[in-house]
């Protein structure tokens, strides 16, 4: 997995009311030294996240505005910069092999570097995640 790749996870969480599995989209920001994936979820709900500036670290929710990505992502999208546990590489590989996780797109080259800079500086990004993102950033330039 490379920085900027977008994936759909078909069974990311269970709806608390219906207990039905719900899908989520995530973007890869980096791979950490242990081989696990540093990622953040995508959302189509602004919830106070602006379109300008694209990088927003303020309340109520930090985010990075991507716009309409295309393909199956036809609504305006933001990268939710709130904390997300790193994704276990072996689990992701298994989910890719079974089709539980599928690749659906790529962040544009013009947005990748600002996204990585923004995510590395986000309040909820751990020091280890930030280092991995900055390493990915240096390879992307």
**What's the pLDDT tens digit per position in 40-82?**
999 999 999 999 999 999 999 999 999 999 899 999 999 999 9
> Is the pLDDT score of 91 beyond 90?
yes
Q: Is 130 left (phi over 0), alpha (psi -120 to 50) or beta?
A: alpha
Q: Work out how many domains the chain is built from and give that number.
A: 1
pTM > 0.75: yes or no: yes
Q: Whole-angstrom Cα distance, residue 109 to residue 99?
A: 26
Sheet arrangement for strand 37-43: 55-56, 63-70, 73-80, 37-43, 21-31, 5-14, 101-106
- Answer whether the bond into residue 125 is a cis peptide, omega within 30°: no
Domain span at residue 54 reads 5-140
Residue 60 burial (CB count, 10 A): 7
């Amino acid at each position: 997995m490379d920085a900027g790749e977008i994936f759909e996870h078909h069974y990311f969480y269970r709806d608390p009311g219906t207990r039905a599995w719900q899908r989520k989209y995530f973007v890869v920001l980096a791979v950490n030294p242990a081989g696990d994936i540093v990622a953040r979820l995508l959302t189509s709900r602004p919830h106070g996240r602006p379109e300008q500036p694209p990088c927003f670290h303020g309340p109520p929710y930090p985010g990075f505005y991507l716009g309409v990505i295309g393909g199956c992502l036809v609504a305006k999208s933001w990268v939710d910069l709130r904390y997300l546990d790193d994704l276990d590489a072996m689990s992701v590989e298994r989910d890719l092999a079974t089709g539980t996780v599928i690749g659906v797109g790529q962040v544009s080259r013009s947005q990748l570097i600002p996204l990585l800079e923004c995510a590395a500086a986000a309040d909820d990004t751990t020091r280890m995640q930030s280092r991995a993102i900055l390493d990915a950033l240096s390879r992307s330039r």
